[in-house]
Chain A
Amino acid sequence: MEGEAPAEILPSARADFIGGLAWIAFGLAVGIGSWQMDRLERMGVSFFTAPGLVPGVLGVLMTACGVVLAVRSWRRGALGAAQLPPVLLRPEVLSRIGVTLLLCLGFALGLVGRMPFWAAAAAYLFLQIAVLQYSERKARDEVARGLLVAAVIALAAANAIALVFEKIFLVRLP
C-alpha cells in the first residue's frame, strides 16, 4: 500500500536495534497490564472471555517481534562502530520539523477553541505559509510581497473552510 523507501533513508541497524528494544518494553508493558487486568471472575466470567486475554496475546507477540528485530539488527552490526545518524536527527530535518510541529501544535492546542475558528486558522495559515516560503522569498528579495500573499491566502482559506463546514454542510467547528 505504500511505496518502497529509498535505500539512503532506510534506518540504520542501530536505530532498528533501539526500536526492537522499545518494542520489547512496550510488549512487556502490555502483557503485564493484561495479566494484571481484572478477570471479572466474581461476575462468573470465563477465563476465555476475560478482557485481558487478547491484549495479553498481542503483548506477547509484540515482545517476540521486538526480540526478532533486535536480534536481526544486532546481527547486521547494530553494535558496531560507524553508524549513520537517524534521518530524524539530522539538523536540517530537525529544524524543519521543529518549526512545523511548533506551529501545528500551537494552532491545534493553543488557538483552537480560544478564539473564532476562522481567526485561529487564518493566524496559523499565515505563519506557516510565511515561514515555509521565507527562504525562497528572501532569495528573490520579495519578503514583503510574500507576507502579503500569505495573509491573503490565509484569510481566504480560513474563511472558505469555516463557510463550507459550518454553513453549507452544517458541521460544528471547534
Chain B
Amino acid sequence: MLDGLVLLGHSFAGFMAVKPILYTLGATLIGVLVGCMPGLSATLCIALLTTLTIKLPPNDAILILICAYVGTIYGGSRTAILLNIPGTAANAAACLDGYALAQKGQAGRAMGIATTGSVVGSLFGVICLALLTPTLGEVALSFGAFEFFWLALFGVLMSGSIAGTDPLKGWMMGLLGLFATLVGQDGIHAHDRFTLGWPELSGGITLIPALVGAFGFCEILTVLSEPMKKALVNSVDSVLPRIADVFKYWKTILRSGVIGVYVGILPGVGEDMAAWSSYAAARRASKEKELYGKGSIEGLMAAETGDNASIPGGIIPALALAIPGSAPSAVLMAAMIIHGVQPGPMLMVTHPQFVYDVVAMTTLATLGMLFYGLFLVRPLLAVIRIPRSIIMPVIFVLCTVGAFAIASRVFDIWLMLAIGIACFVLRKCNYPIAPFVLGLVLGDILDKSLRRGLQITNGDLTPFFTRPVSALLAAITLFTLAMYIPPVNRAVRGVWASALAAIRGILAK
C-alpha cells in the first residue's frame, strides 16, 4: 500500500511540469471538440491521435490519448443537451433529460450538471483504477491460457450482446473481428494464414488502420449518405455547477460511480451501457421518478457520472489483463503496445510505475475537463455550428494520414478504405461495429490461449471447465449465451420466478 502511494506520488510529481500540462489542456480540448461533433467517436479520436503522437515519448503520447478519451466522452454531452444528438454513443442517455432542460431554457444548468457528474464520476473511477488495477494484476498472475481464453471469449460475447439491437448480428461481427485478426502469420508457428499470396498481409491486419476504417471512413460515408442538416443550438444560461445539486444527489452520484466502474471493468461493455445502467438504477431508486425524461437533474447527473466513471473502469482490465473494457480502451491498449508497454498481468512486475502514471494522467484529464467545463463553454459551442460538409472531408484526409503513419505503408490506406466500405455496408444492414473491434483486439489472445491450453493438456478440454476461475468464467459465458436461446430463457425465468415465490411463501409463514 505504502509502495503504491510512493509510486503514485512520483507519478504526480513527474507530470507537474509545463509540457505535460500543455499536453493535457491541448488534448482535452481536442477531445471535447471531437466529442461535440456527432458521429466522431472517442475510438476514432484516439486512433488518429495515436498516429499523430507516434514519435513522442511513451508517457507524453499516452497522456495525450487519455486526455482526448476523457474529453471526447465529456464533450459528447454538449450536443446531447443542445441538439438532442449524442456527440458520442456514451451520451445517448444524457439526451433524455439534458435536452428537456435545454428546452426549458436551462441548457447552461444542464451543462453544469453534466460537468459535475463527469468530473465526480471520473475521479471516482480514478480512485478505483489506483486501487483495483494492482490487485487485479496480482490475481491475474495466477491466470493461465485457460482463463485468458474464456476472458477473451466473454469480452467478444458481451460486446456482441450489448452493442446494437440484434445480439446475433453482434456476435457475427465479433466472430468476423476474431477472424480478421487471424489473417497473417500465426503467433505460435509464424505460418501464413489467409494471406491470399499478398506479402503485405503476412504482418496481419494492423489495428490502427482497421479502426480508422471502421470508425472513421465508415462514419464519413454514413454521415455523407444522409442529407445535410443545419444545427439549431439552444441558448445557454449560466454553466456554473450548483454545489447544492451535488449534495442533494450524492447517493445517486456514488451509485452511478460504482455502476460506471463495474460496467467499465466488464470486458467489451462500453461507456454507453454504463450511462444507461446508471440512469436506470437512479430512476428505480428515485423519489422523483415522474421527472425522468422531462428534465431531471438527477437523471442527467446519473448518466454523466456513469459514463465518465466507466472510462477508468475500462482501463483497469486493459492494464491488468490486456482485456479492454470498451472499444476506446482497446485502442488505448494498442497504443500502449505500440509505445513499448505491454499491458497484462506482468505489467505490475515489469512497469509498476506505469500503472500509477496512468492514474495521474486520468486525474489530469479530469482536471482539464473541469477547466473547459467551467471556462470555455460558449467558444466551444462554435464548433457545433461548423457544417458537416466541411468537417467530414477534413476528417477523411486525417483518416488517410492516420492509416499510413503507423507503418508508412500505402497498403494500410487500402486496408482502411476496404474495412471502412465493408463496415459501412454492414452497418446499413444493422450490424454493430464495436464487437468487430473487440474481436480484432482479443483475437490474438483467444487464438494463442486456446491452442496453448490444448497443447498443455494434449487436447483435453477438461481444464477449461474445471480450474476454479476458468470454471466460473465458463459458467458465466455459457449462461450468458444460453439466455439468448428462447426456451432456455423461458425455463430459467420460470425457475427463478418459482424460487422467488417459494422464498416469499417461507418468509410469509
Contacts and interface: CB of A to CB of B under 8 A. Distances in A.
A104 interface: yes
B51 A171 contact: yes
Given A65-B171, A96-B225, A49 B401 contact: no
Contact of A30 (B179, B396, B430): B179
B52 A165 contact: yes
B159 interface: yes
A79 interface: no
B248 interface: no
Interface residues of A, number: 74
A31 B179 CA distance: 11
B175 A65 contact: yes
Contacts of B401: 117, 161, 165, 171, 173-174
Nearest to B397: A121
B172 A157 contact: no
Contact of B228 (A4, A55, A105, A136): A136
B168 interface: yes
A38 B191 contact: yes
Given A69-B172, A132-B389, A2 B179 contact: no
Contacts of A72: 168
A103 B392 CA distance: 13
Interface string A93-110: 100110011001101110
Contact of A51 (B193, B226, B405): B193
B205 interface: no
B394 interface: yes
A76 B461 CA distance: 38
Given A48-B458, A62-B176, A172-B405, A1 B425 contact: no
Contacts of A87: 428
B319 to A, nearest CB: 20
Nearest to B446: A54
Interface stretch (B7-15, B120-128, B216-224, B290-298): B216-224
B191 A133 contact: no
Given A96-B225, A132-B228, A153-B390, A11 B429 contact: yes
A45 B189 contact: yes
A31 to B, nearest CB: 11
Contact of A108 (B159, B417, B425, B450): B417
Contacts of B397: 107, 121, 124-125, 157-158, 161
Contacts of B54: 169, 171
A9 B225 CA distance: 13
A124 B393 contact: yes
Given A2-B434, A15-B429, A108-B417, A100 B188 contact: no
A156 B434 CA distance: 34
Nearest to A103: B393
Contact of A55 (B182, B271, B396, B425): B182
Given A51-B186, A104-B417, A93 B165 contact: no
B204 to A, nearest CB: 13
A27 to B, nearest CB: 8
Contact of A16 (B425, B429, B446): B429
A85 interface: no
Given A1-B327, A10-B165, A158-B397, 4 more contacts: A54-B182, A65-B175, A125-B394, A161-B401
6 contacts: A5-B430, A55-B182, A101-B221, A108-B417, A161-B398, A164-B52
